[in-house]
Amino acid sequence: MLTDTACKKVICPADKARVRLSDAGGLYLEVAPNGSKRWFWKYYFDGKEKRLALGSYPDITLKAARASRDDARQLHRTGVDPAHQRQVEKLSRRVDSDASFESVAREFHRTKKSAWSPKYAARWMSIMEKDAFPWLGAFPLASITAPMLLQVLRRVEGRGAHETAHTLRQWAGQVFRHGIAIGRCERNPAPDLQGALVPIQTKHMAAVLEPGEAGELMRAIAAYAGQPTTRAALHLSALLFQRPGNIRQMRWADVDLEAAMWTIRAVDMKRTKRAKINGRPHLVPLASQAVALLKDLHPLTGHGSYVFPSLLTGERPMSDNTVRTALRRMGYSNEEMTAHGFRAMARTIMVEQMDVQPEVIEAQLAHGKSGPLGAAYDRAEFVAKRRTMMQQWADHLDQLRKG
């Protein structure tokens, strides 16, 4: 370990090019024959030996040099080359401050958020502020390389958030593409990282998929001893197989019992913001069993807005945990059946056991149409087919329940 006295007294003989006095952690003082004394920190990055100049002695004291070394080591631990960052900082002082990653990202967000849902826009900025800006925000966009971006993504992976890491790579790519469009950079390094992240293990929602097990589930629903509205929500979830959020937020004003039709407004569907505003409503034909169930339920909740109101206040729909909790009380674990699982149960059994056309089921599930025909299907024909399918499904559930 060096002392301040040793730093003052050391000299370099005239016959030597330099003299180096080592401290700790890679810090050393280099003395030249002309008497100049400079601090350096030796480190390794990507397997190569490098050194970082920390200033001249005695302008930079031994204590200050150690502090600078510690700061550089801390930066090095995050996966950033301190020497490269110093170059970038010098460059950033000479370029437009609007060219930083954070500035371009915020500009992109302002440009796009009017077309995004508020929830998506908030999540986009939240992830950027938490996982990107602290490490990349101050860097000029053009100076950020694929390895630099990868180090940031590795930090996210390190806490087990693999899906967030993939999302951040995609969204960082959006920032770079915007930067290219406005002249802040010339290339997008995000595609270079394709395949560099840990793959996402897709986890499907647990669901009952065998006819015999579906029959047991329907018998358990019929015997459910909890709130009548909760039992009705369970039964309708099976009969209508719509998204859990749409089931629990069903409004009496949207249900036409005479026409046996439930009309879900476009704004309530899982769609893009544009489709929520301009899209058509989703039509859900009601089988006779569903109509009868709703008629029985109307005296209980028909005085309010929601078919399934909250038990605490009728001004809000039931909690999104109500059906899940009821399934647990019936003995179904989260690995066996979920509220979302009624959709998978209906699709699987109808395709495999009832020989229903998959595209008709997909239309009823409100999944986006794919393929060259897209939305060009005859909508009226599909409504008629779905009405028939929904009655067949309700009858089939009755048969399964009776064993």
Instruction: Write down the catalytic residue from 76, 106, 231, 243.
Output: 243
* 178 is a catalytic site residue: no
- Helix segments in 10-61, DSSP class H: none
- pLDDT score, position 375: 43
Catalytic choice (76, 106, 343, 387): 343
Residue with tokens 């550089």: 72
In 300-333, which positions are buried (b, 16+ CB within 10 angstroms) versus exposed (e)? ebeebbbbbbbeeeeeebbeeebbbebbeebebe
In what order do the strands lie in the sheet containing 37-45? 19-22, 27-31, 37-45, 48-57
Catalytic residue among 69, 76, 109, 340: 340
**β-sheet bridge partners, residue 53:** 40
What CATH number labels 97-193?
Answer: 1.10.150.130
pLDDT digits (tens), the chain, 403 positions: 889 889 988 899 988 889 898 998 899 999 999 889 999 999 999 888 999 999 999 999 999 999 999 999 998 988 888 888 887 777 655 556 568 999 999 999 999 988 887 888 999 999 999 999 999 999 999 999 999 999 999 999 999 889 899 999 999 999 999 999 988 889 999 999 988 998 876 555 678 788 888 889 999 999 999 899 999 999 999 999 899 999 999 999 999 999 999 998 888 787 777 766 677 888 899 999 999 999 999 999 999 999 999 987 767 999 989 999 999 998 888 888 988 889 889 888 988 888 888 888 888 887 755 444 444 443 444 788 889 999 999 999 999 998 7
Query: 290: left (phi > 0), else alpha (psi -120 to 50), else beta?
Result: alpha
Is residue 367 flagged as an active site residue? yes
Task: Report how far residue 174's alpha carbon sits from residue 108's, in angstroms, rounded to the nearest whole number.
Answer: 8
Token digits for 57? Answer: 């002695």
Whether 109 is a known active-site residue: answer no
**340 a catalytic residue:** yes
The pLDDT of residue 380 is: 41
Confirm if 47 and 57 have CB atoms less than 8 A apart.
no
pLDDT given at position 376: 41
Q: Specify the pLDDT at position 114.
A: 87
Catalytically annotated residue among 20, 270, 369, 379: 270
* Confidence at residue 368, expressed as pLDDT on a 0 to 100 scale: 57
Homologous superfamily in CATH for domain 211-402: Intergrase catalytic core (1.10.443.10)
Residues paired with residue 52 on neighbouring β-strands, in sequence order? 41
CA–CA gap between residue 341 and residue 347 (Å, rounded) = 10
Choose the catalytic residue: 274, 329, 377, 379.
377
* The predicted structure's pLDDT at residue 205: 61
Q: How many whole angstroms separate alpha carbon 166 and alpha carbon 200?
A: 8
User: 399 to each of 35, 179, 214, 394, how far by Cα in Å?
Assistant: 97, 60, 10, 9
Sign of the Cα torsion 177, 182, 186, 189 reads: negative
Strand stretches in 71-175, DSSP E: none
Q: Taking the domains of the chain in order of start, what are their residue ranges?
A: 4-77, 97-193, 211-402
Give dist(CA 92, CA 86) in Å, integer.
10
CA distance 27 to 44: 13
Instruction: Verify whether residue 377 is a known catalytic residue.
Output: yes
- Catalytic residue selected from 18, 51, 130, 367: 367
Question: Which class does domain 4-77 fall in?
Answer: alpha beta
Q: Is 276 a catalytic residue?
A: no
Reported pTM: 0.56
338 φψ region: left (φ > 0), alpha (ψ -120 to 50), beta (else): beta
Residues whose CB falls within 8 Å of the CB of residue 221, separated by 6 or more in sequence, listed in order: 231, 234, 235, 238, 330
